[in-house]
Amino acid sequence: MMKKTISSIFAAILSLAFLGSIICCASTDSKNTKGETNKAEEKTASPAPAKPAETEDPGVILMFDESVAIKDTGSKAFTCTSATEVVKRMTLGWNLGNTLDATGGAGLNTETSWGQPKTTKEMIDGLAKSGVKTIRIPVSWSRHMDRKNYTIDAEWMKRVKEIVDWAIENDMYVVLNCHHDNYSRLAKMPAVSGYYPSPINKNESERFLLNLWTQIALAFNDGYDEHLVFETMNEPRLCGTNFEWWFDAYDFDCKNAAACLNEYNQLVVDTIRASGGNNQKRMIACPALAASPDSALAAAFKMPVDDEPDKLIVSVHMYTPYSFAMQSPGETKFTASHQANLKQYFSRLNTRFVSKGYPVYIGEFGATNKDNLEDRVAWFSYFISESRQYSMTCMLWDNGVWELKNNDYNEHYGFYNRREQTWYFPEILAAMTSASQIEIQ
């Protein structure tokens, strides 16, 4: 059922959201401005019962059923309240890829729908023992929501909490995000379909994000200290367009997308802060479009305003250089020019963000397997060594795919054998832990 009341602080957020949408995010269609939709024509001549007219867009309001929402009842005090220090301590991270972010199947079965095994405590324990200090847990939420009111399935939330808790028990840092909830194309999207950075979808996107993060903030609050970090979105982007993976500062849709995304990040930060408790000082990571370093370095990207000092983090993904780290077949040798390219990116990220009090973490990075282990080891060592000069933490993307077939190098980012709790390429693990300056127990 619809939640009938919200706290005064959430009411303030909603007022700001309405105002922000009018001021900041230009609309290309005056018929789809904030809080407005086209109504179906009323049928007045027929004696038969008319179909209900299309209802007005309810606006950016809380709609989920709080009576069934999972609520955190724990109590754990923060011991470190600086995002800069937390990112430094996170040192080396790993992504639980293609698991809770998978979108196949239904219910709890989505976890294994992309071919990965069900996550176990033993898997997480094995990561911790190998020297990994941080686990990023990508989660896709929209397909686990009630299609009428955005209520997250309680069993799904419990499963997410279970895995988070296993990591926390190992004294690991955890990044919890909103992953594959970006709508698939630049078109008016249905309700409860996630978000999209465009004016026509701004109202629905903000309603989704408000309801999502309010529920996450209920489930994860006082029971979690600074070891839990929230990440607003994964790779928010213009899916289905020519600008899905790159940013053109002069393109109309790109400019609109950047403006909308700035507001989405602000809305999520405000929502988390409004939940009070430990979330009032929770570390929150925010990406630019596609989480790319180029988008982050563009003038159009703005970090949210936050009353809490030193609590925000910039999230960037780097499969860089593309020709070596991702492209198939691309290049197999890690060269001096590749090193220079990486060095320049880290230096610019430091100048734009770190030096101004916004720590940066690389939420995803990796080099696909091209049967070039020696060069990959060199790449991983150089990548992490350069990033650590600016106290950045790097989180390895792992989708479980590692074995080469038919000279296809596409998306071979498998590193950790989850079933055996071993590493497919121990040389890469050694290079990463050494560059991260981690002492393995």
**Positions marked active-site:** 235, 364
CA distance 162 to 156: 10
Residue with structure tokens 């293609």?
98
List the beta bridge partners of residue 416: 423
Paired sense of beta strands 284-287 and 228-231, if any? parallel
Tell me the C-alpha distance between 131 and 69, whole Å.
Answer: 35
Residue 53 CB partners (closer than 8 Å, separation 6+): 39, 40, 42
* Both structure tokens of 111: 């976890």
Residue 140 · residue 181 · CB < 8 Å:
yes
CA distance 154 to 108: 11
